[in-house]
């Protein structure tokens, strides 16, 4: 990884006029995080959307909870392009967080109405980020599936169920429609110049004139096209938020790093915390053009040596397993009746 990616910010657009007081406060708080100082557009976008996700408490809700709420709201029984009312979205959001509040331990409480109001205001702002756009069933499904917590592979399987036909084959036009809705999220946080929708985006995603089933879909999005690189990054950010590296940053000299750690492959012993690397900080003979390796965990030198020996002896797999292989035929509708 090299500090080369820039990406423009959409600084010219203010908070949409349709956003209420709760939504305005959310955007004010977002601006106070100083994410615009991050040079890498993919990390900048992921950090912004991760902030929104956590501020709305949507990180506590997985895709199966979303599917249940969508079913209860009747959105599974209407066409994807069907227009839905704001009140229907509000009811769905409140149902999501009301059920969440019942599942949470007594030591962790949320205000369902506040979380629902914040989420609704943000989704409406995302819809308004594109001229002449309207709130459709697909808008709600795409944005909730993108922003909710849980495993990325489960979310992508749900997305595939919405963009494939009865034979379990991807329908290109449906994926284009999904992508258009999902990319309203980066646009809502002023990252439209880097990740806004364009019609030509979907063409290089999948092989032309070839049946794309669920496994091929997951394989391709495992290393996503440029327009979606921020999506798996949100999940990676979540996974390292509490990871501690007991080494000092070579730039800010902070004793110990939390989150990602970046090690220069050219400068011996030169390591940066995520805040310094993302903002392009460098010192001494180190340059932003040097190749850096991203680390999401800490291993002591002894542990590294043991793993290297194990790999040499064939005791340790050198490659992480990919996603499970799923049936190519569409699965029966999930029975979520017993989910509390």
255-266 residue pLDDT tens: 999 999 999 999
Among all chains, which residue has been given the structure tokens 């995302």?
126
Q: What is the pLDDT along the chain (340 residues), one digit of tens a residue?
A: 666 555 555 554 566 666 777 788 999 999 999 999 999 999 999 999 999 999 999 999 999 999 999 999 999 999 999 999 999 999 999 999 999 999 999 889 999 999 999 999 999 999 998 877 899 999 999 999 999 999 999 999 999 999 999 999 999 999 999 999 999 999 999 999 999 888 777 777 787 768 999 999 999 888 888 999 999 999 999 999 999 999 999 999 999 999 999 999 999 999 999 999 999 999 999 999 999 999 999 875 544 444 544 555 555 555 555 677 777 766 655 555 555 4
Among all chains, which residue has been given the structure tokens 């040097």?
290
- What pTM, to 2 d.p., does this model score? 0.86
Q: Which one, of 109, 99, 110, lies nearest residue 67 by Cα?
A: 99
Q: Which residues have CB under 8 Å from 56's CB, separation 6+?
A: 26, 115, 118, 119, 122, 147
CA–CA distances in Å: residue 87 to residues 66, 94, 124, 228, 305 = 17, 10, 12, 30, 59
What span, in angstroms and rounded, lies between the C-alpha atoms of 283 and 184?
A: 37
Domains in the chain and their CATH numbers? 23-238 (no CATH), 243-299 (3.30.60.90)
Residues facing residue 244 across a β-bridge: 258
- Expressed in angstroms, the distance from the first to the final Cα of the chain is 43
């Amino acid at each position: 990884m090299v500090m080369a990616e820039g990406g423009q910010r959409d600084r010219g657009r203010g908070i949409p006029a349709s956003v209420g007081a709760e939504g305005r406060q959310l955007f004010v708080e977002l601006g106070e995080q100083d994410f615009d100082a991050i040079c890498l557009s993919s990390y900048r976008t992921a950090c912004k959307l991760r902030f929104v996700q956590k501020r709305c408490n949507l990180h506590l809700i997985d895709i199966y909870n979303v599917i249940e709420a969508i079913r209860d709201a009747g959105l599974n029984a209407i066409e994807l392009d069907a227009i839905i009312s704001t009140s229907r979205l509000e009811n769905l959001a409140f149902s999501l967080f009301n059920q969440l509040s019942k599942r949470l331990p007594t030591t962790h409480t949320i205000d369902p109405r506040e979380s629902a109001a914040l989420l609704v205001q943000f989704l409406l702002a995302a819809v308004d980020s594109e001229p002449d756009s309207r709130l459709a069933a697909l808008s709600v499904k795409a944005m909730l599936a993108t922003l909710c917590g849980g495993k990325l592979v489960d979310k992508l399987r749900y997305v595939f169920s919405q963009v494939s036909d009865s034979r379990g084959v991807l329908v290109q036009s449906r994926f284009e429609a999904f992508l258009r809705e999902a990319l309203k999220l980066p646009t809502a946080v002023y990252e439209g110049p880097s990740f806004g929708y364009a019609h030509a985006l979907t063409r290089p995603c999948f092989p032309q004139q070839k049946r794309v089933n669920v496994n091929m879909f997951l394989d391709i999005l495992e290393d996503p096209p440029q327009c979606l690189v921020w999506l798996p990054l949100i999940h990676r950010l979540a996974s390292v938020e509490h990871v501690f590296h007991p080494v000092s940053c070579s730039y800010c000299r902070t004793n110990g790093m939390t989150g990602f750690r970046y090690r220069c492959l050219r400068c011996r012993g030169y390591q940066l915390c995520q805040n310094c690397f993302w903002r392009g900080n460098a010192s001494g003979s180190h340059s932003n053009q040097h190749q850096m390796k991203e680390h999401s965990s800490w291993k002591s030198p002894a542990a590294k040596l043991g793993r290297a020996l194990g790999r040499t002896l064939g005791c340790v797999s050198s490659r992480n397993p990919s996603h499970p292989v799923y049936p190519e035929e569409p699965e029966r509708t999930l029975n979520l009746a017993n989910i509390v």
